[in-house]
Each structure stands twice: as C-alpha cells, then as structure tokens.
Amino acid sequence: MKTDQNIKIELNQTFPLTIKRLGINGEGVGYFKKQVVFVPGALPGEEVVVEATKINPKFAEAKIKKIRIKSPHRVLPLCPVYDQCGGCQLQHLKYDQQLKEKCDIIIQSLERHTKIDIGKLDIRETIGMEDPWGYRNKSSFQVKAVDGKVLAGLYGLNSHQLINIDECAVQHAQTNEATSEVKRILEELKIPIYNEKSRKGIIRTIVTRVGIQTGELQIVLITTQKELPKEDIIIQEIQKRLPNVKSIVQNINGQKTSLIFGEETLPLAGEDFIQETLGDLQFELSARTFFQLNPVQTVKLYNEVKKAVALTGQEKVLDAYCGVGTIGLWLADQAGEVRGMDVITESIEDAKKNAKRHGFTNTKYVPGKAEEVLPKWVKKGWKPDVIVVDPPRTGLEGQLIQTILQAEPKKLIYISCNPSTLAKDIQALSAKYEVKFIQPVDMFPHTAHIECVSQIVLRGN
C-alpha cells in the first residue's frame, strides 16, 4: 500500500484544500498530502476545492473550483477586469487585512531565510493609505486596433491577450482620462496602430504621467518610426482636449522587444518634462526618468527613513543606489555630507541638477557601482557613518555586502521591495550587524508588493 509521501498530485486532479497563508505573489498557500499548493485568489482560512493546473517537483499550482468556507475578509473586487488583467493580486481582500497579510509575508521570509529569533524582533504595523485607490501616477498601456477601434491596456495574466482597460482603479484619474482621450484621437484620425504579428503600424504604447501635487500631465507616444502621420493635428487635439498637458513627447522603438522605451526621444510640444513635488523638494520628470509611482506613500516611506537614520547634522551619509537623488536629498538638510552613486549616468546628472536646484552644497554624486566606488573612497579616508540602500528586487550585490562589512558604517538603512532578498541580505550581514526594527510601508495597495524600511546597526553600537 502507498504511503502518504508517495501520493503525488496529478494534473487536473480535484481535491479539497485549507489555505494557511498568503504567498509572496499574493496567492493562497495550502498543503495536500504534505505537498505545497499555490492557489491564486484563495485567502487564508478559506476551505476550497481546487483543480491542479501545473505540477512541479516541489509544488503544485491550482485554481479554485469552489469556496466551501469563505474568509470574512473577502470582498468583491472593484475592477471589472481584475481576474483577467493580473496587474493587482489582492483586490478581493479587505484593505486593512491586506496590511496585516503583507506584514506576515515579511515574517515568513525572515523565518525561511534567517536565524533571527522573530519573537524578539520589532516588526511594526504596515503603514497604509487613507484612500488606497487611484494612487499610480504613471501608466504604460499597449495599444491594439480591432475593427477600427483602438484598445489600450495590459497583456492578460500568463497570456498574450491584450485586456482593454478603460478605467484602471489604481491609476490616478488624470492618467485614465488622458489615455482614453489619446485613444479617441488616434481612432478618429485613423493613425496606424502597431500589429505585433505583421509588425506593421506605428503607435505601440501610450504612456501617461501626472504630477500628483502639480496636476501637470505628460503624454508619451511610443512609435515604431520617426515619421508620425498627422503629427500637428494629433498635438492640437491633445492640447485642446487635455488642457493640463505640459509635455508631449515621442519615443521611437522599432525593435521586436518587450521593452517599452527605445533609445531615441523627441519633444513634440511643450516642455521636455513635468514638475512634481515631494515634501519640500521639486523634481523635473522627463519621459524616461524613474520616479516613485505612488508619491503620497513615498513621502511616508522617506520620512520613515529619516526617522531611522536619526541624523545629528555631522554624519557622512552614503546613498548607494541613488537614482536621481531623491532619498539623499531628503536627508541632506540634516547630514554633514551626502554622497551617492548609480550605474545610470543620466540619473547621476539629474541628481547633481536636483541638488543644485535645492541649494545643497554638501552632496557629491558619481556614476558607478557602490561596491567599486566605496572602497576607493574609504582608501582615501572618506568612511560613511550611515549607508542607505534601496536596491532592485534582486537585493544587494554580494560584493556590496562584503564592502559594507569591511567599511563598518555604524548604521545601515535598508529600503526593500522584496522580503525574500531582504531576509537573505540580513542573514549575510548578521556576522557584524543586527536588525533593530522593520517598518513595512504599503506602496502598492491591492497588489502583493510590500516595501519596508529596516534599521540595521553595527553590533556594540
């Protein structure tokens, strides 16, 4: 007779499952015959009947066939295409409960990847939004023509089917309105829309960005070629119908690629950029400038960084992934000196301009990797008291971790957008450093993403 361990789930098998927790991608996680099963759309505490859709050696994926016992936190998603689009993962979960589950995802990652006693760790409640809708300041919607009608939206979950989105619930109202108007203009003027299969047509993507504090709007048309038919009329119509437009830009991308932007950007009308404000700081956002997608929560995030750094006015601060300098400039008025580096040269130029515009003379920005630049500075006698890191989802480079362990700053403030890599990096630093607290901040309500600010200090300090 087979033992439980030998019973494997088979494709299309239907079985009951109790959901224990949420996974890092927002899916429900349960166990059947000791095998882990991931179920998108299922919530902790629910008893469901599922059908296996994918079998991997270490886990299975399944879809809900029936909910036998429903979570008290389950709600109807606001968005009509929620289950097709895949842009959000948690609209079916009450917002206050989303904040608790996101905190739990961080705890799970720490339990899995570190040797820390979680019971003794100060993990704070997630800082959420008063109004968790309409927060995204930028949208990039692919376009497609169907029977003369122009559709714009995102490719569906695990498919290459374009889901038309007229009103995205997490996008700022002005970006929704702008995309709809541009769609109408392209349709009325019969501008050729790019077709992926035939690789014919001109307009590929409509990118809209709004300065949430300033109300300024930027439209970027991504085209396959430089020549844009009826260019003057397109510009006139956009300006007439969207009076807040301060910048109309064309970006050319003729490549067969999933990347949105090409290398060449041409101004069509107005400024090359729009203005946005974060706290007391102003930023110029050109078409390709990276900027936080949720400025309301960014202010809260950066204020948590400021509290965690707790500067006295003397410290040397290193902003290791500085981008256009936002975090370093947020701290510059309380620091002795701020230095930053980034691998994108244009970002460094923007960081220098931003520092100059705000009158900071205690900043220095250079292009390059932190793990290469910092040892040279230390050799010359410049040693940071505090290092602030805001790495990509992949976490810190191993070489940078070694550099931090050698430079021994008294404090490391780690802004993370991926709990798994944060936990692994905390473990790698644990020879010399300990975590004082972790403060989660919800930058992307209704999605599985969670950011957090960790204060990590040199042992003995």
Residue among 24, 27, 63 at smallest CA distance from 44:
27
DSSP 223: E
Residue among 36, 91, 33, 43 at smallest CA distance from 64:
43
CA distance 255 to 284: 28
- The DSSP bridge pattern shows strands 386-389 and 316-319 to be parallel
CA atoms within 13 A on the CB side of 39: 34
SS3 sequence, 237-256? HHHHHCCCEEEEEEEECCCC
Complete DSSP assignment for 270-334: E-SEEEEEETTEEEEEETT----S-HHHHHHHHHHHHHHH---S--EEEETT-TTSHHHHHHHTT
Give the SS3 label for residue 405: helix
- The DSSP bridge pattern shows strands 273-278 and 281-286 to be antiparallel
> Are 242 and 213 a contacting pair, CB within 8 Å?
no
CA distance 328 to 173: 30
Instruction: Check if 88 is active-site.
Output: no
- Number of CB atoms found within 10 A of residue 264's CB: 12
Report CA-CA distances (Å) from 231 to 159, 221, 248, 269: 33, 11, 11, 10
- Number of CB atoms found within 10 A of residue 161's CB: 11
- The DSSP bridge pattern shows strands 433-441 and 122-123 to be parallel
Backbone angles phi, psi at 176, to 5 degrees: -60, -45
Greatest C-alpha distance within the chain: 78
Backbone angles phi, psi at 210, to 5 degrees: -120, 140
Six-digit token string for 371: 């793990």
CA distance 345 to 125: 37
Bridge partners of residue 267, in order along the sequence: 249
Q: What share of the chain is helix, strand, coil (3-state, %, to 5)?
A: 25, 35, 40
Bridge partners of residue 251, in order along the sequence: 222, 265
> Are 205 and 140 a contacting pair, CB within 8 Å?
yes
Q: Which residues are catalytic?
A: 417
